[in-house]
Every structure is written in C-alpha cells, then in structure tokens.
Structure 1
Amino acid sequence: MKIFVTGPSGYVGAEVARLLLSDGHFVVGLARSEARAEGLRNAGIEPVIGELSDLDVLAKASASADAVIHTAFFHTGDYAEATRLDIAAVGAMTDAMAGSNKPFIMSSATGVLGETGPVPVSEEFPLDPHHCIKPPGSRVICERAALLAAGKGVRIMVFRLPPYVWGNGGSFFIPLHLSAAREHSKAYYILPGTQKTCGVHVEDLAKLYLLGIQKEAGIGIYHTTTGNDYTAKQIAEAVGANAGVPTEGISAESAIEQGIWPAWAVPVFAMNNCASSAKAERQLAWGDYRSTDMLQDIASGSYAQKS
C-alpha cells in the first residue's frame, strides 16, 4: 500500500513510518523543509515538502494514497489557532479521499476525557463540556471534524494517545519531567500523588496504526493504552531515580507559581486520566505488547541511557 503520513519526523510518526516500511508499504511523508526531506529520503520515505497549512499539498498526497495516517499537530503555542488549522488540514485530506472508503487515521489524545477517576474508561465516557472548551479538551473539536468525514465515504479512525507515549528514550512529558528535576534538584509531583495516568510504548502504538489500516473493521474512536496504574508519585520517583534527586509533592498552584513545568501541563499532571483499550484489542486484534514497564524504563532503561 502507498501510505501518506503527516509528522513522519516526529516521535510517534517516525516509529509508525518505520514499521510501515518494514511491513513492505511505500511511505510518503510530509516534510516542512528540504533538510527534513533529506532525512526522510535517508529513512526510505518519499518526501512531500509542505506545511500542515498547505491544504493543496495535503489534498494531492491524500488523493493518491491508499491510506492516510495523520500524526502531526500544530505546536504553535496558540492552541485555538492550532485547532482551527488542524480542522482545515483534516478537511482537505478527507475531502480528497471522499468516496474511496480508504482508511484515514487521526491522532488525538486521552486528554480530551479530562478527569476520569482511577478506573479506566471506554470511548463512550461522557465528555465534560467545560473541559472541552480549553486545552487539551478542545482537541475533541478536531476529532468531531474527522468523524464527520465518515459521511463522505472515508473509513475514519481517531486514535486517542495517552499522556505518556514512551520508550526508546523519546516521549514528550518524560523529558519534561527529567528537565524539571535537574533544573530544580527535585522530582516534583502534584499532590496528593495518588492520581493515575495511562501510557503506551511507542512501538506498541505503531503496531496499532498498522493494524488500523489492515483491519476493515476499524472505524471510530479508539483508546491506545497498555498501562493505567502509573501514579503521579510513582512517575516522580522514577524520574528522581534517573536524575539522582529526591522526590517531593507540591500543589498545582505552587507548581505554576514556581514555574516547575509549563502552566498548561500542570492540569494534566494533577488529574486521573485512565482509558481502556479493550475496543482496540477486540476490533483490531491489538495485543502481544512489547512492554508495559514504563517506570523501570524511566528510572534505569532507555531514559537513563540518554541522561
């Protein structure tokens, strides 16, 4: 299959592209510059130069592909503008695929769920309208824009990624924690520390994207988690073990005042965010996971090797 991937140089997108290539697919990737394009060529990916705002470029690449995997997102600092631009990008790609019944997979986040409580919830979990008007909950607007494209004759899947996509020394929040711990000589967590969050190894996540384009049953929203028992305090302890610093609880207000992390990240660290992947396991035959031991990997695995 010829598969168009946005974000093929990113942490998740690069792993997805690598797995697609190893499975024998021809991968076309969006590159923001000639330098990025050269990197894609070296990885065996055919580059298409353009931004997510270049709607004609997106439409042309999507129309000629057998499947589209959208892992990119606008990280501009203006979340409202990023959401607007993403909706336009999704519209351009799915319009170009109209009537084909080809698969389109969009990356979202379990952050849209907001506070779930400590028990993993399904894709049917009711969303809090107050949470959905601000980041990260407002990304649900992008989800809905994608799901509407099913009416155009496109097989739409929305993959909600957990806060902690981890492994191979990458991720977003884990390096953020490690950097904060080294800067402040303490591994902080938001009190009470018992709040739970979810995660998935990046290689297991990539397998799900591959299954999504392979399994015709795939349609709708899927949670993409393999672990839901990580508490805020446990994560801080693993970070502290890596950085060689003590662990300490702190209130959300104090964390923002002291600038421990970016202010937008603090609510993510303060809430329970637990999502069940039973639907993905049932409908897409996802399983045989590489690893679910995120805490060990932070403390003494791939993140320790890069510290």
Structure 2
Amino acid sequence: MNLLNRRALAYVGRHPMDFTVQCLQGFRANQGLLLAGAVAYYSLLSILPLLLLVVVALSHVIAEEELLFTVGRYLNWLVPGQSKPIVAEVAQFLEHRDVVGGVLLVSMLFFSSLAFTVLENAMCVIFKHRVAIRRRHFMVSAIMPYCYILSLGAGMLLVTLVAGSLQVLGEESVQLLGRSWSLHGVSGMLLYLLGLAGEVLVLSSIYLVMPVGRLSLSHALIGGVTAALLWEVARRILVWYFSTLSQVSVVYGSMTTAIIIMFSLEIGATLLLFGAQVISEFERVGRGHQQRAPQPMTT
C-alpha cells in the first residue's frame, strides 16, 4: 500500500492537470450528476427524520435550547441560509414528542436510513473495480445506516459539548500590558475550525465505510479534504447568490425553501461523489492504470 501511495503521489505531483481531467472524465463516465441527483433527493427525505431522531435522543442529556442552537449552526453548513425553517420544525416536534408512537418511530428510522442506502449504491458505481472483486453481505448493508446514525448522534453530542465550551471562552478576556483583550474573535475562529474539522472527519468516515472493501485512512482523508474544501467554496457562493442575485422566490413562491434545500443538497452530493471519484482515480494511478480511458456507464 505504501508503494502504491508513493506511485500515485508521484504521478499526481508530476501531472496535476492530467489527474484532474482524469477525475472529471471518470465522474462523467460514471454519470456522477445523475447519481448526485438521486442522493440529493433521498437526502431531502432523510434529513428531517434523522435530525428528529438525533435531537430527541440527545435532548435527554443536553438542554434543548443549546442543542437546537448547535444543530442550527452546523446545519447551516449543509444547507446554507436555510437552517432556520428546519430547526423550527425540529423544535415544534420536540414540543409534542410525547405523542410519538411505535409506528412513527419505525417510519422515522426507515426514512432516515434511505440516504445512506442510496449513497452506498452510488459509491458502488464509482468504486466498481472494488465491487467486481468483492461484494458486501446484504445484512451489513442493512445494518450499516443505523450504525452510522448512532455515530452521528455521538458526534453531535461531542460537538455540542465542545461548542458550548468555546462559546463560554468567547465571553472571557485576557489582561495583558494593562489592556483587556476579548476572546470573542478567538472563540469564533475556533468554532469555525471545529466545524471544518468535523466536516472533513464526517466526509472521510463516509469514504472509509461506504465503499466495498477496506479503504486506507490516507485515501479517505484525501477525498474528505478535497470534498470539504470544494464545499466551502460552493457554500460561500451559494450564500452570496441566494442573498443577492437569486429570484427563486419569485418563481417558486411557497416552495422556495424546499427548492433551495434541494439545490444545496444536489451540489453537496455532487462534490461528495466527486471526492469519491478522486479516491478511485488515486487508487487507479497507484496501480499504473492512469493511461486507460474511463469506460462510460451504459444502461
């Protein structure tokens, strides 16, 4: 594996543009935009049930107000500018959580896992060279989404606790040379870095778990950093566009929020799958297959 990594890094270092073009060609050959559309659609169905499950579980440990604030802050990374209506729905559900029955709970579990199932299938297309060698047992595929939901809940608990500590830090000040220096700016920077690090870790964990077979941590981090940096650029562009130039509310009216969330998820899913394509091509060039043109996926 170290030999393959060195070979791949040497090729990418010598031919960065060729590698980029190769990734784009592979993504196009795998119908990446079509796969991203499917992932985005099912993510739209799963995002609210998933949040409800996580928030209801964590509300027994963390104060609801603090939990909702943290959810809104980091949900804004996923759907820029549209976290408020989602958090409002979650808060309204919390007020009536006593009426949740077994049927509703099972339905929420089912819908919250749909995005992970579709994402796994999309990863199988991009990493088809792995699927051709080894297939995953169907029971593993059935259980994996729920294990991932538990992991996300644990991650949300940790992030909420750390974010609360950083917010308290922002209210403090340091006395130096007779002057008082507020730590508010430091706290804000640390919260941003916490969100960015969490984003990289979540994306890397997806690349580490979803593809068939064992993927090295270094490869997963390559995809995670690539997708996270691209999403950071796209997220800022989306915030600027929807706040200045967009006329989507004129066209879609009451459906504006759903359309914007769907559009954001579409771009996010595209970058997520492109990160997977980068890992796939990195594996291929490590094995000396960089000259082979990608074969288009046919129907």
TM over 0.5: no
Q: Of the two structures, which has the highest relative contact order with CA contacts closer than 8 Å and spacing of 6 or more?
A: 2
TM-score by length of 2: 0.27
Which protein is richer in helix relative to its size? 2
Larger strand percent:
1
Task: Tell me the TM-score normalized by structure 1.
Answer: 0.26
